[in-house]
Amino acid sequence: MKRIIVIFFLNSILLNSTHSYSKGLYYKDRDWNKYFYDNCGFPSNKNLNWVKEKNNKFLRFQLNDKQIGKCSSDNKVRNGAPYWERAELKQKDIFKKNTSYEIKFKVRLIDGFQNDYEYFFQIHGYSSKKCNTPILFLQTKGKDKHLRLLLRKYESERDRNIPNLTKKGSFKKYKLATNSSHRIFVKDILNKWVNIKLLIHFKKTDGILDMYFNEEKIIENQSFDMLKCHAPHIKFGIYRPGNNFKKNLTSIIDFDKFVINKISMK
């Protein structure tokens, strides 16, 4: 009995401490129904913390200049950047193909997001080193720093595991706006909780997406492409290109209430 109590106590500390942890540990709150974990490690023990406001607890990410990510590809020249800065968590399980999901979470940009572009949410397809490309991104971008959605597109046949396709894909880009044609700018949502909901159907090599921003549908019936080898899963936090010529400004973002359920989509 004492052993059970000790194990329960240690698990409680690992899941609910206000301090960051080393690679491989899991994160989940009472109002989340999925586990996420640190699959690469963090540049600093200050990149991720549990924070409490009144009776609410949430995760806060902070990324400073030159904090190169710990994933194997981050310390390499890639996609026009000399290195990549990263503080992210990864979904413990994966989404099944030929299945539909509702993904809901709350996000609050606290500071920063004034660099060239920064990703804060993605659905990645990594299943192996040969099949390791993202499928969907949410990012901040542009001189006016607005929100954008990027959906993966391939021009070739995707029913087979073709390694070369992983390098040939592109993204279709959407500047996110409300139905009243108001673009969603970082300055307008700074320090405000916003609700994000994705209704997403993963087929074998493509899919369909609807997106809601504060309960308002802003993307409807948009398609994206995948490879047969993709194993879709969520990654969230802060991920951005490094810069050798100027400093990247510190960015801080909060996440809460991740709830993911299977649904029926027509």
Concatenated DSSP letters for 80-133?
Answer: TBSSEEEEEEEESS-PPTTEEEEEEEEEEEEE---SSEEEEEEEE--SBTTB--
pTM flag (> 0.95):
no
pLDDT at res. 142: 79
Q: What is the pLDDT along the chain (266 residues), one digit of tens a residue?
A: 545 444 444 444 444 433 444 577 899 999 999 999 999 999 999 999 999 999 999 999 999 999 999 999 999 998 899 999 999 999 999 999 999 999 999 999 999 999 989 999 999 999 998 899 999 999 999 788 999 999 999 876 655 555 555 555 789 999 999 887 789 999 999 999 999 999 999 999 999 999 999 999 999 999 999 999 999 999 999 999 999 999 999 999 999 999 999 999 75
The letter for the amino acid at 175 is K
3-state secondary structure 204-236: CCEEEEEEEECCEEEEEEEEEECCCCCCCEEEE
pLDDT at res. 156: 67
Q: Kindly list the structural domains of the chain, giving each domain's residue range(s) and its CATH number in brackets, ordered by start.
A: 2-263 (2.60.120.200)
pLDDT at res. 181: 72
Q: Using CA atoms in the order 241, 247, 249, 250, what is the torsion angle rounded to 10 degrees?
A: 80
pLDDT at res. 135: 96
Q: First vs last Cα of the chain: how many Å apart?
A: 50
Burial 178-188 (b: 16+ CB within 10 A, else e): eeeeeebbbee
CA-CA distance, 222 to 212, in Å (whole number)?
13
